Every structure is written in C-alpha cells, then in structure tokens.
Structure 1
Amino acid sequence: MNSPLHQDETRRFARAQLRGEMLDWLLAGTRGERFLDDIFVAFCRRLREAGIPVARGTIHLRTHHPLWLGTRILWRTGLEAAALQNFEYGIVETDQFKLSPAAEIFNGAERVRKRLEEPAQPATDYGIYRDLRAEGLTDYVAWPLHYTLGKSHIVTFSADRPGGFAPDDLDLLASLLPALSVVTEVRHKNRLTRLLLDTYVGPHASEMILNGATRRGSGVTVEAAIMVIDLRGFTEISELWPRDDVIALLNDYFDAISLPIERHGGEILKFMGDGLLAIFHLDTPAACTAAQSAALEARAAMRALNAARAERGQPRLGYGIGVNVGAVMYGNIGSRSRLDFTIIGPAVNVAARLESLTKVLDVSVLFSGAFAARSSDGHQLVPLGTFPLRGVGDPLEVLAFPDDAEAGA
C-alpha cells in the first residue's frame, strides 16, 4: 500500500541517497578537475538531473585582481559552460549592491530566501528578484559560502518549478554547502595564487614558478627582445612633490608604457622604481616586430600624456627606451631565501646602455643593429651611427625611429 507515510519514507531515502552520491562526487569525483566554474556547472546539472529544480546558480567570489574586486560565476539551463562576470572596486558602495541579497549575506545573514511567485514587497523587492521573475523563475535562495580563516563568499540557487524549492530541497542544498566550500576553496586559492604571480612577475615567469622553478639558480636560457625603459628626473620629482602626486604620476607613466607592451605580447618582468624591464620571447616568430610596434605605441602614449600634462600646467616627462635582442638567462637569482625571477646577460646590459644613450642623443627610443636585423620592420628604422657603450666591447650600431631626433618625446 502506497500510503503518504510510505511516500515520505521513500522520499527521505531518495534524498539521503542523493546527498551521499553528491558528497562522494564532490570530495572524490572532482579530484581531476582544475577549474572551479566547471565543477559548479556539473554540480548544478547533477542536482537538476536528480529532480532538484535548480535552473540557475551563481557563486560570487572576492579576488585579489588589481582591476576587479570580484567575479560572478553563473550557470543557467541552456548554458554549456559558466558565464563569468567581473565586478569593479567600488561596487559595494553602489545602490545595486546595497539593495541586494548579497549585501544581506555580507552583513551577516546566514540565508536569504525569496519566493518569486509571491506578491512583491517594495521594501525588499530587489532588482535581482525582478530580473529572475522575468526569466520565469519561481524561487531564490542565497547562502554564505564559508572558507577558512573567516573568509566568506556567496552561492545562490534559483528554481523554475511552480511552488519553487520544497523544504527537503533546501535541506539537501544546505547540507552540501560545506563540501562545496572545501572543493571550491582549493580551486579558488589555486587561481588566486596564479593571479597574484601573474600580477607581480608576469605570466611566463608565473608558469615556470608554478611548474617548480623555485630554487636559486634554476632557469633557462632564452632568446628574447629586451626592452629597458626609464623616466628622466624622477629623483628630483620624488624629493619635491607630495607623495600622492608622485604615485599618481608613476601610475600614469606606467600605464602609458605598459599597455602597449602587454597588447603586443610582451612580458613585463619588473618595475624598478621609475624604470621597467620587459621581454618579448623569440619563440613567437614576430616578437621583434611586436617589440618595435610596442615601442612606437609607447612613444605615442607618452606624447599624449605629456600633452595632457601641459594642458594642466604640469611639466613634461622625459624618458628613454632601449631595445636589444639576444640570449638571456631567465630564472631565479637572489639569496637563499629571497629570490627574484628576472633576466641577466650581456644582451640585457646592452639594452640598458641604449636607454642611457637616448639622453645623450636626445631621442626617446634607440634600437641595436642586432635588433633591427631581426625585426621585419627594421628597415623603417634610421641608423644614427656606431657608438661605444660602457661595458660593451665594440662600438654598437644604433638606430631610431625616423622622426624621433626631430620630434623628441
């Protein structure tokens, strides 16, 4: 006899079995999966296939990205992969955030539930609820996703079944959150590690470090175009200007010269006070041409920056760029316990000497003859002659952009 009591027992058994299967999958079945968003998509799909009416799910994570405060990972029915959206710093000060379930969670709520089929309450009918109703969703629930050391993020689920989530649906989801937290935190921290390394040492060096190049002296010899850039008169500026003005100046300057390098595939290895060291790996066939284009665009960006500074009554910024090509040692140098991932070698020294020579020749960018011979656009450069460089044996052929000597920086 299929009595209501028997039906309840059957349902509880099925939920317990599903919970066990989901926990087994989360803790054991995801070991080979690298990406958090792929795990979350599979998590939502498994729940839906098992009869839980999850039609949309999100995870909101705070990151340590220099441009973004956080990221939202979104899955909904019909999506093959998660959709990612970054959020800028300052969003927590906006009404969009303050009038949202996310604000309630960050202010200490352990759960936010909204039955979307019920009449809207103007005081708490957040914009996200109106958007979800427009998608035909019937229920919404959000929980904090607790990580270690008191860190919390947010996970949400929305239903599309009339009546929304049943009480045992919510109990099941809540019971899976601790395991979901453990599994996603590992991937999130892995991603943060890579992000921080990319931010501070660049993507190529980051990859080598994560692959085990962490001992002093470890590294490889690579062929690269090397770019050294330096700001003129920075010592005087830093001594006379207020600190905040100096920092703002440096940020504007580094934006002008860095963005072209990154846009053309270069890797910025380090900022050295008011200087910069970057390379273009020659395993990319057009690396020298890319470096030449980056130098040209950096010069244009500095001209635009100086024009803007002149309109504000500020002095122009002088600078020099030296570009060379050759073999460099690319790896770890330093003390036993404090390392710097950088490049060294005669080719680097030549690039640095070329940068210094820009001041003597009153041009903004200088290239070595060796570089010009490797660049497909090297014929567009104008020879300036041969010059002795300190620490370099023979005088070096030096070239510049055709209009550089006349136009300056």
Structure 2
Amino acid sequence: MQSSELQRITNWLIDGARSSGTPAEMIADVCEHLVDAGLPLWRFGIFIRTLHPEIFGRNFIWRQGEEVEVGTVDFEILDTPEFAASPLRIVFEQGIEVRGRIGDPDNKRFPILDDLRAEGATDYIAVPMPFLDGSVHATSWVTRHPGGFTDDHIAAIRSIVTPLARVSEIISLRRTAEMLLDTYVGNRAGARILGGQIRRGHNDTMQAAIWLSDLRGFTALSDRLPAETVVEILNHYFDCQVTAIRGHGGEVLKFMGDGLLAVFPIDEYVGDAAHVCTRVLEAARESRASVEALAFPVGEAVERFRFGVALHVGNILYGNIGGGNRLDFTCIGPAVNLAARLEKITGRLGRTVVASEGFANVCRHDWRELGEFPIAGFSKAQRVYGLGEETPVVMA
C-alpha cells in the first residue's frame, strides 16, 4: 500500500473529515480513498452502539460500487441466534480482533462467512474500535482479493481504525445528544437546546394547538395495584397517545404522572391553523380508539381504561424555565392554563374529547355545545364543545 496516501487519509480523519457532509458520505470517502491507496477492500461495516432506550446501535455498510446502507438494530438482536454466532459479538464482549479466512474449516462457527464466500469473498476481519469513554464498537473488513488480506493490508486497517474511531466518536456523541434530547424533551426543544438556547429566560412566543390529557381513575388504580404494574400500564397507555401525536405533527413536551402535555405548532405565516387542528382531532380520535382497545391482564382480571383530553389553540411562551442550574424546556401561558382546566371538565361530563370554543371555531367538525362553565382563574365563563359522535359515560 502507498504509505503517503494512507497518511493523507489519517490526517484527513484527524481533521474531522470536513469534506464529507454526512456520516454515510464520510464512510464512503474513507473506503474509496483506501481502495485508491491499494487496499483491496470490497465490503466494510462500522457498528456503533448507542445510548438510546430502544436502539442498541447503528450500522453503516459500504460495498464497492454501491451506496452506503444505514440501519439501526434494537436490543432484541442480543437474544437472536444470529448475534450469538456473529464475530461482532466477540468484538463487543471481549474487545479483540476476529479473523475469518473464507473457506477455513476452523471458521465454521461463523455462518456469515459462508454467506460472504457465496458472494466471492476471500477474507474477513472484525476489528474493535474503542472510544475514549471505554466503550467498544466494531468495524468489519472484507476482501475478494485472491489469498485474502496480506500482513501489510492488516497493518493498514489497524492504523486507520484509531483516527476513524476519533471522528466516529465525535459524530456519535453529537447524535447521542440529539437522540437523548429528542427522547426527554422533544425534537423541537432538543434542536433549540443544541442550537444554544440554554439560558434561563430564553423563550419564544408560539401559536399552537394544545393537548392536555390524563387517565381516568388513576389514583384508585395506583392504590390497588403494585407500583411496577402501574408503571407498565402507564407505558402502554402513553404509547396509545404518543404514536398518534407524533404521527400527526405534534410534540410531547411533558409527562406528569398520568398526564400528558403536547403541542402542535402552527405556522402563522402559512395560515395552517385549520389544517393543524384537524390533525390534532384525528390524533385524539386515534388515541381514543387505542385506549379503548387497551386490555391489561392483572391476575385473573383484565383492566380497561378511559382517558380525557382537552384541546385548545392559542399563543404560548415556549422556552427555559427553572431555578438555579435545573431548567425545564416547556410551555406556559393562559392558553395552557385553560387547557388544563378544560381537561378536568372532561371527567365531569363523561367525555373523552372536549374542545375550547377557539379550537372548535378553527377545526370545523360535528361539535356539540356542552354549555358554559366558570373556569378558575378566568374572568369569563368558557363555552365548551364535545364531539357529536361521543356518548357521555360518567364513571362511578
């Protein structure tokens, strides 16, 4: 291999691979540069473990002459026979190289080598890629070169893994921060925080449709069931709403016990309030159906559930609020307060969905006026609307 070209690739990685716009482009550029330098590389994989509640890791697969494949795997893969028989399992668990010359009888324990041989591969090596935090990630290198990789090829691979690990770790840390912020504060809030809006008092006014819901009979449920069971029920219950909310353009801002606060931003310049509120109502109806279908076995009994959701539209203050060095990225304002008061009315009226007059005026639907109600903290009584299709059910 050309040592000068290999050094140039190393320097380029150390400098942050600035000419590559995305991680996939960076992987493609590295592999193509290595091939140009004399490494007979046919297939390359990089496998990055992630800090995410549902995703075990991400993988990038490059093949000569093809686009880089980008994928994710969940934690269930750890219990599969495929992972148990994978060279990568050894790399992750022991942090050592695994060499697999295609056709070598000693490598029968790795089924992937048979698959690669069918595609014309002659050699395979999985190399650990340690990060500075001590976590071990993995790379895999495959060639079709007659006789496989030479000692010089292996030395080149080992030399490139360290600078590749440094730039990969930087990209991974940024992505981990984005994913964790998305998971815990929502995608819009996460983007703002990463963009530097982190000081107390940083906030914006935003017009939005507001969703505030809670589970009926939650206090009694918590009193008669074990805490672990209640947590499991809440997770299933929130799944019924979060999927619908995110699928219709909303962002979940906060879970408060059995309560959920979400917003659906409205672009005042586009004038899409009616479209946004229609999607909010679709999400509410989907959530209602999902919660009604939720059946949770507890011993010999089956728990069924009802919830209430209040829908409103108005201006909110959206940003950092808190004390000392503990901040919360949330929304406040009279519109949020009204939604919270309306949510309490859903239980009194035996309704799943209620809407403010403002929401009902924007979202044209078969609304039924339910009357005017005095609202604590508001000088005027508020007119409340329910869905014409709903039959009130007052819980005992």
Query: Residue 310 of structure 1: CA displacement?
Result: 10
Tell me, yes or no, if structure 1 residue 156 matches structure 2 residue 156. Answer: no
Query: Which of these residues, 308, 321, 338, is aligned with residue 326 of structure 2?
Result: 338
Query: Residue 29 of structure 1: CA displacement?
Result: 5.8
Query: Residue 247 of structure 1: CA displacement?
Result: 1.2
Does the 8 Å contact 2:349/2:392 carry over to 1?
A: no
Query: Residue 387 of structure 1: CA displacement?
Result: 1.9
Query: Residue 212 of structure 1: CA displacement?
Result: 0.8
User: Match of 1:293?
Assistant: 282
The CA distance in 2 between the partners of 1:237 and 1:314, in whole Å, is 13
The CA distance in 2 between the partners of 1:43 and 1:238, in whole Å, is 55
User: Match of 2:87?
Assistant: 101
Tell me, yes or no, if structure 1 residue 350 matches structure 2 residue 338. Answer: yes
Query: Which of these residues, 202, 205, 210, is aligned with residue 218 of structure 1?
Result: 202
Does the 8 Å contact 2:16/2:167 carry over to 1?
A: no
Query: Residue 38 of structure 1: CA displacement?
Result: 2.4
Local SS of the residue matching 1:391: coil
Residue deviations 1:223-277 (CA, integer Å, cap 9, x gap):
0000001112222322321122111111111111211111111000011111100
User: Match of 1:317?
Assistant: 305
The CA distance in 2 between the partners of 1:76 and 1:372, in whole Å, is 55
User: Match of 2:362?
Assistant: 374
The CA distance in 1 between the partners of 2:297 and 2:374, in whole Å, is 35
Query: Which of these residues, 65, 81, 92, is aligned with residue 78 of structure 1?
Result: 65
User: Match of 1:400?
Assistant: 386
The CA distance in 2 between the partners of 1:334 and 1:171, in whole Å, is 54
Instruction: Map 1:142-221; keep pairs closer than 5 Å.
Output: 142-221=126-205
CA gap 1:22/1:38 in 2 versus in 1, 3 angstroms: same
Does the 8 Å contact 2:314/2:335 carry over to 1?
A: yes
The CA distance in 2 between the partners of 1:29 and 1:237, in whole Å, is 54
Does the 8 Å contact 2:31/2:41 carry over to 1?
A: yes
Local SS of the residue matching 1:379: coil
Local SS of the residue matching 2:315: strand
Query: Residue 301 of structure 1: CA displacement?
Result: 0.7
User: Match of 1:20?
Assistant: 7
Tell me, yes or no, if structure 1 residue 64 matches structure 2 residue 51. Answer: yes
The alignment's C-alpha RMSD in Å is 2.0
Instruction: Map 1:250-265; keep pairs closer than 5 Å.
Output: 250-265=234-249
Using the size of structure 2 for normalisation, the TM-score is: 0.93
Local SS of the residue matching 2:2: helix
Tell me, yes or no, if structure 1 residue 390 matches structure 2 residue 376. Answer: yes
Local SS of the residue matching 2:231: helix
Does the 8 Å contact 2:348/2:394 carry over to 1?
A: no
Local SS of the residue matching 1:107: helix
Tell me, yes or no, if structure 1 residue 49 matches structure 2 residue 24. Answer: no
Query: Which of these residues, 106, 128, 136, is aligned with residue 112 of structure 2?
Result: 128
The CA distance in 2 between the partners of 1:17 and 1:169, in whole Å, is 15
The CA distance in 1 between the partners of 2:298 and 2:11, in whole Å, is 65
Does the 8 Å contact 1:364/1:408 carry over to 2?
A: no
The CA distance in 2 between the partners of 1:309 and 1:395, in whole Å, is 42
Tell me, yes or no, if structure 1 residue 269 matches structure 2 residue 253. Answer: yes
Quick one: which amino acid aligns to residue 224 of structure 1? Answer: A
Quick one: which amino acid aligns to residue 145 of structure 1? Answer: M
Does the 8 Å contact 1:71/1:84 carry over to 2?
A: yes
Query: Residue 359 of structure 1: CA displacement?
Result: 0.9
Percent of aligned positions that are identical? 38
Local SS of the residue matching 2:73: strand
The CA distance in 1 between the partners of 2:174 and 2:95, in whole Å, is 28
Task: Return 5+ residue gaps in structure 2 as ranges.
Answer: none
Local SS of the residue matching 1:149: coil
CA gap 1:187/1:332 in 2 versus in 1, 3 angstroms: same
Local SS of the residue matching 1:165: coil
